[in-house]
Amino acid sequence: MIILSALLITVGLLFFIGGCVGIIRLPDFYTRLHAVGTVDTMGLFFTMSGLILYLLQDFTLANVMAGLKISLIVVFFFIASPTATHAIVDAGIRGGGEPWKKRKKEGDNL
């Protein structure tokens, strides 16, 4: 059980690292927000699932209640994160933010 929870936490942290790389490497606000908005939800899901499994090794009422609270946090995050991402992108568009466009090089036919 400890190995499975450690594996889930590691996978979640890898998702978070992917989001950090997306923030650093992508060219503009919208693509960076897309990278973080899609990756952080899965990162949180895997990390918190591993934490719940770790807590439920000692099956007491306090640990079950803590696992239930963590599950409710994950459900709230699944609802709030895409909504917040959409609201931020909408505010950026209304504020006049232009999406990144690839510049044509000489000789490109695209």
Judged against a pLDDT cut of 70, whether residue 110 lies above it is answered with no
Q: What is the mean pLDDT of the chain?
A: 88
Q: What is the pLDDT of residues 46-75, one digit of tens each?
A: 999 999 999 999 889 999 999 999 999 999
Prediction pTM value: 0.78
Long-range pairs of 79-86 with CB within 8 A, sequence gap ≥ 24: 81/37, 81/40, 81/41, 82/37, 82/41, 85/33, 85/34, 85/36, 85/37
Quote the CA–CA distance of 4 and 52 in Å, as a whole number.
11
